[in-house]
Amino acid sequence: MTMVAPLETPRLLLAILVPLIGAVAVMLTGKRPNVRETCSFVTATILFGTVVSLLPAVLAGEKLVYHLFSILPGVSVTLRADAFSMVFAMIASFLWMVTVIYSMGYMRNSHEHAQTRFNACFALALFGAIGCAFADNLFTLYLFYEIVSISTYPLVAHHQDQEGYEGGRKYLTYLTATAKGLVLPAMIMTYVLCGTLDFSTNIRDGIFPSDASRWMVTMTYICLILGFAKNGIMPFHSWLPGAMVAPTPVSALLHAVAVVKVGVFSTTRVMLFLFGVVKMDDFNLGIPTAYFVSFTILAASLIALSKDNLKARLAYSTVSQLSYVILGVALLTPVGIEGGIVHIVNHAFAKITLFFCAGAIYVASHKKDISDMKGLGRVMPFTFAAFGIAALSMIGVPPVGGFISKWFLLVGAMDAAQIGIVVVLLISTILNIGYFAPVVYSAFFGKPADPHVYDGVGEAPLTMVVPLLITAALSVAVGIYPDFFLNLIKGVFV
């Protein structure tokens, strides 16, 4: 097979500079709110357009790169666009556009303070996320991963009260401690063993030499899986529910667009392009990982069942759902890997819809607890209909996108002859029903204790309702027509 030389393109540099420039523009226009929000939206639109402009070359099988500088032989800051990176970059950049509109409605109607800082940090978080998406090596990935952690701290601690500072402190402590305590040593071990930190160009071979110490490779693998703690794997998950003290648009950013997706993207990137399918299979790293994250899938779902606060229930749902991505890749079967990667897409659309709905509910009715939402769906039908659609995706009901994910994961588990994983997926689906169905049922069919409690309550402002309807519709669209993303994901196997 003839190897095609990577194509050098400065558009990769432009893709990561756009949100950085946008953050500066937001700060400069902070005293004019309309101009500030316009800058945010235009920046997000330009970023999405820049990412999409890379798509034809990637679909044609090109590997796009842009080298910035080298630190040591085999250690550089280099960008790369391939099929896997495009999946994440396209979702993150598109959903940023939608979130900018939603955030404007939420922040203004909630009369939140420091909205300029909020928008600037949002842009910086996307700067880090896109950098992670286009990282060509472990060093570049680590650099942008840390940028995401630092830039999102002010968002988590946004309210600047005791609860906010405690949530922000836990958030930053967990993520920076695991990154420095586990990822950095793993980078050193990788460099010692391989002489480079560059990712492989295919998912088969990885970069570790055939005579590498089994013990060293295994330890490196464990450090990286646990070190990228944004993936929400237990026991390094509690930062995620703790971060729910942030405004709802931040929760949407954390759970659907940037932070947790950076975690699972980084984890699966190193699994596939650092270790490779063959090495993981030879060293028996895949299936044990699948069973290890199965505990997170089930335990987090059980905790979600016990939560009455809507955002807390959604937070533990996220902890559970993230591990589907890692589980699919860890099965090491083509269908399982496809299922894991496509779940990045399906979870993004569904989970951002759920958090958009939670924010709309709060702005319109000031309700946070599920037990206080009986009958609320009858006065907020569009919001709760969107919530129901997104919940169906999380459960895995056709024709919504989550069905595609779970179908591929189930087939991948059977291809790997892992009946235990099939059982885990079936039980987790039942638990998904258990913590989502009561919310929708109670909202539409429940009766509030006070029949006048919702007098004067209606839908949230259009700037909030329209984005959540768009993302709910897209959850259905990717379920009915999944071919675009599935064809893109097939490029991962080239």
State the Cα–Cα distance between residues 480 and 483, nearest whole angstrom: 9
Strands lying side by side in the sheet with 75-81? 7-8, 64-72, 75-81
Q: Could you tell me which residues are beta bridge partners of residue 79?
A: 66, 135
pLDDT at position 4 over 60: no
Q: What is the pLDDT of residue 450?
A: 84
Distance from C-alpha of 432 to C-alpha of 403, rounded to nearest angstrom: 13
The confidence score (pLDDT) of residue 113 equals: 80
Q: Sign of the C-alpha dihedral, residues 159, 163, 169, 174?
A: negative
Q: Phi and psi for 75 in degrees, rounded to 5?
A: -130, 110
Which burial class, exposed, middle or buried, applies to 377 when counting CB atoms under 10 A from its CB (0-12, 13-18, 19+)? buried
Residues β-bridged to residue 67 = 78
pLDDT band at 109 (very low <50, low <70, confident <90, very high): confident
pLDDT at 258 over 90: no
Binned at pLDDT 50, 70 and 90, residue 112 comes out as: confident
- The most confident of 242-251, 337-346, 443-452, by mean pLDDT: 337-346
Q: CA distances (Å), 435 to each of 60, 255, 302, in order?
A: 43, 17, 9
pTM of the model: 0.93
Interval 13-25 mean pLDDT: 94
Distances (CA, A) of 89 to 42, 101, 126, 176: 17, 19, 10, 23
Angle, nearest 10°, between helix axes 310-330 and 334-365? 170
Instruction: Give CA torsion, residues 307, 311, 317, 320, to 10 deg.
Output: -100
Residues belonging to the chain = 494
Between 264 and 494, whose confidence is greater? Answer: 264
* Per-residue pLDDT reduced to its tens digit, 158-187: 778 788 788 888 888 888 899 999 999 999
Nearby residues of 409 by Cβ (< 8 Å), 6 or more positions away: 324, 327, 328, 331, 336, 339, 340, 343, 425
Q: Among positive and negative, which fits the CA dihedral 342, 346, 352, 358? A: negative
Contact yes or no for 118/70 (Cβ under 8 A): no
The string of pLDDT tens digits covering residues 118-154 is 889 989 999 999 999 999 999 999 999 999 989 888 8
Mean pLDDT, to the nearest integer, of 352-376?
93
Query: CA 236 to CA 272: how far, in whole Å?
Result: 22
What does the angle CA 182 – CA 183 – CA 189 come to, to the nearest 5 degrees? Answer: 95
Give residue 268's pLDDT: 96
- For residues 388 and 210, what is the distance between their CA atoms, to the nearest angstrom? 50
What is the rounded distance in angstroms from the CA atom of residue 297 to the CA atom of residue 295? 5
Query: pLDDT digits over 203-227, tens only?
Result: 998 999 988 899 999 999 999 999 9
Question: For residue 63, what are the CA distances in angstroms to 14, 80, 87, 158, 320?
Answer: 17, 7, 14, 39, 33
Residue 106 confidence class, pLDDT cut points 50, 70, 90: confident
Mean per-residue pLDDT, 315-327: 94
Rounded to the nearest 10°, the torsion over CA 336, 338, 339, 343 is 140
Determine the pLDDT at residue 374.
94
Q: Does residue 319 carry a pLDDT above 70? A: yes
Calculate mean pLDDT across residues 424-431: 96
Of 21-25, 218-222, 251-255, the range with the lowest mean pLDDT is 251-255
What are the beta bridge partners of residue 64? Answer: 7, 81
Nearest Cα neighbor of 46 from 16, 81, 4 is 16
- Per-residue pLDDT averaged across 363-378, rounded? 93
Radius of gyration of the chain measured on its C-alpha atoms: 21
Give 255's pLDDT tier (boundaries 50, 70, 90). low
Q: What is the pLDDT of residue 1?
A: 35
211 vs 282: CA distance, rounded Å: 12
Average pLDDT, the chain: 91
When comparing pLDDT for 108 and 400, which is higher? 400
Distance CA 254, CA 208 (A): 33
At residue 3 the predicted structure's pLDDT band, cuts being 50, 70 and 90, is very low
Q: Give me the mean pLDDT over the 27-34 stretch.
A: 90
